[in-house]
Structure 1
Amino acid sequence: MALKSYKPTSPARRGLILVDRSSLWKGKPVKALTEGKRKTGGRNNKGHVTSRGIAGGHKQRYRYIDFKRRKFDAPATVERLEYDPNRTAFIALITYEDGEQAYILAPQRLAVGDTVIAAEKCDVKPGNAMKLSQMPIGTIIHNIELKPGKGGQIARSAGTYAQLVGRDRGMVIVRLNSGEQRYVLGTCMGTVGAVSNPDNANQNFAKAGRTRWKGRRPLTRGVAKNPVDHPHGGGEGRTSGGRHPVTPWGKPTKGARTRKNKQTDRMIIRSRHAKKKR
């Protein structure tokens, strides 16, 4: 998909750059594969704001995506590519030979009429899913499981991918976009190819209103608040916020390490924070 820039016929159009979605399906999604979606406004069941910056936004329907790809040895044809308001990537509607339909994440270079299949071992072709242990070393993959049968969790956003770089002790070594290298069980599933819509990050929405349509409210800087409202608040004149930037609840931020998931440390071979070799 290419980017589309607009002539400055109004202030809202000046600088506007969007992804060209003219080749996507223009109708409604398959109703049986969708569900109504209620907005929370960032509030929990007590009405308290637990996620700041959420409000408004266009009404959406959730599309059920098949992240598991466990219907083995059943070829499916790509009916159409669709926009999904719930994610940055595009999705593909596939139809199996028995008539069953499903949505999957659309990889790059997947076109209408293509055939995809999920199996323990199959051709290395965009959209095909197989067990990681059966993939050739060097394969570009996405929608990677961390637990067999749980469904893909890694590399699902627009333009993302990982690379299978080795095998060891019944596991495979996967290099992620962040530079991290980690072990993943060979019995986990992965899908060949990189996720569609790589130009998503290059869009320029040109006005605050377009972000509000997405359901995101503006966030006030901590240094612009009072001391009662934020650790960076207060002070005479304009201040920088102090030497140690923190969240409103005092947790270090802007680069400070806060990760505490020690259970998976043994699976990480090379941290994403390790200095890259030149």
Structure 2
Amino acid sequence: MALKKYNPTTPGRRQMTGYTFEELTTSKPFKALTHSLWRNHAWRNNTGRITTRHQWGGHKKSYRIIDFHYVDKLDIPAKIETIEYDPYRTSYIALVCYRDWERRYVTAHKDMKVWDEMITSKNAKLISWNRLEIWNIPVGLSIYNVEIIVWKGASSVRSAGSSATILSQEWEYTQVKMPSGEIRLVHKLCYATLGVVSNTDHNQVVIGKAGRSRWKWIRPTVLGKSMNPVDHPHGGWEWHSPIGMPYPKTPWGKPALGVKTRKRKDTNKWVLRKRDWRLMKK
């Protein structure tokens, strides 16, 4: 994938970059697999108060129904019909047509082309974008759309340009190195797709101007110290003063920045190393 740089006709355009969309083959989605999530409530409730901060407005968009399970199409080959843009995710998506003539959207591989074939099978060939049980994947290969819980569908490694790596196959579990650096145990009956997610240059895009963020439904974020005391614990005093307390707080008075918020400890047994490479305490 390549990025395009705009001519500096305005200050906002001077550093702005964007997608060339050269991989895409169509600009219109398959209507039967879309529905609208648009609600013109601007993230306010019935009394007009903001219920979700930092979101408002934005361009209207349709949600594409993506298949993250695949398992009800075991051993049924499919052909790639189109590579498309999805406004609700950073990666591209592919419209596939199975041999039984059912069409579904799936996450696109970075090298996927129209008329390529894919299949979901327990012992599928080791070809990019094929999906198979994780114990059949050799050590060192890259994977994405990883299942963490058996038969629950792909829940990890789905964003643009991401991939996990198989580190070892031991007993009932496979050691997988996640994109964050965390090493996690995944049950061998879980499925994963071979390869790397599409749109690998997504993190290189320069937004360029504030208005482009507003198109994405993103409102500005303001420091608490710039607010009034009634709006934030850090607020008040003159100009851009220090927060005036020993540790930072959230707008609701809870400790912030560096405070551990993970409450679900029963899943710690599946994590061998944290993303900072420290061993997980059991």
TM-score range with shorter-chain normalisation?
Answer: over 0.9
Name the SS of the counterpart of 1:198 in structure 2. coil
Name the SS of the counterpart of 1:74 in structure 2. coil
Percent identity reads 42
- Structure 1 distance, partners of 2:242, 2:160, is 35
Given that 1:231 and 1:250 are in contact with CA atoms closer than 8 Å, whether structure 2 keeps it comes out as: yes
1:58 Cα offset (Å): 0.7
How does 1:175-254 map onto structure 2 within 5 Å?
A: 175-241=177-243, 242-254=245-257
The corresponding residue for 1:272 is 275
1:180 Cα offset (Å): 0.6
Alpha-carbon spacing, 1:122–1:215, altered in 2? closer, same or farther (3 Å): same
Name the SS of the counterpart of 2:175 in structure 1. strand
Given that 2:26 and 2:83 are in contact with CA atoms closer than 8 Å, whether structure 1 keeps it comes out as: no
How does 1:1-278 map onto structure 2 within 5 Å?
A: 1-39=1-39, 41-43=42-44, 48-70=49-71, 71-241=73-243, 242-274=245-277
Offset from partner CA, 1:198-257 (integer Å, 9 cap, x none)? 111111121111110011111221110112211211123422324422321233333332
**Scaled by the length of structure 1, what TM-score is found?**
0.93
Unpaired segments ≥5 residues, structure 1: none
- Structure 2 distance, partners of 1:46, 1:226, is 23
Amino acid at match of 1:199: D
Amino acid at match of 1:56: G
- Structure 1 distance, partners of 2:12, 2:181, is 38
Name the SS of the counterpart of 2:76 in structure 1. coil
- Structure 2 distance, partners of 1:194, 1:44, is 40
Name the SS of the counterpart of 2:198 in structure 1. coil
Given that 1:76 and 1:96 are in contact with CA atoms closer than 8 Å, whether structure 2 keeps it comes out as: yes
Q: Cα RMSD (Å) of the superposition?
A: 1.8
1:45 Cα offset (Å): 7.3
Amino acid at match of 1:65: I
Given that 2:26 and 2:82 are in contact with CA atoms closer than 8 Å, whether structure 1 keeps it comes out as: no
1:270 Cα offset (Å): 0.4
Name the SS of the counterpart of 2:38 in structure 1. coil
Offset from partner CA, 1:6-51 (integer Å, 9 cap, x none)? 1112333221111211331333111111111123533467765332
- Structure 1 distance, partners of 2:160, 2:110, is 10
Given that 2:226 and 2:239 are in contact with CA atoms closer than 8 Å, whether structure 1 keeps it comes out as: no
Alpha-carbon spacing, 1:239–1:195, altered in 2? closer, same or farther (3 Å): same
Alpha-carbon spacing, 1:44–1:68, altered in 2? closer, same or farther (3 Å): farther
- Structure 2 distance, partners of 1:169, 1:42, is 48
How many residue pairs end up in the alignment?
Answer: 276
- Structure 1 distance, partners of 2:109, 2:229, is 48
- Structure 2 distance, partners of 1:274, 1:48, is 43
Name the SS of the counterpart of 2:256 in structure 1. coil
Unpaired segments ≥5 residues, structure 2: none
Range 172-181 or range 266-275, more displaced: 266-275
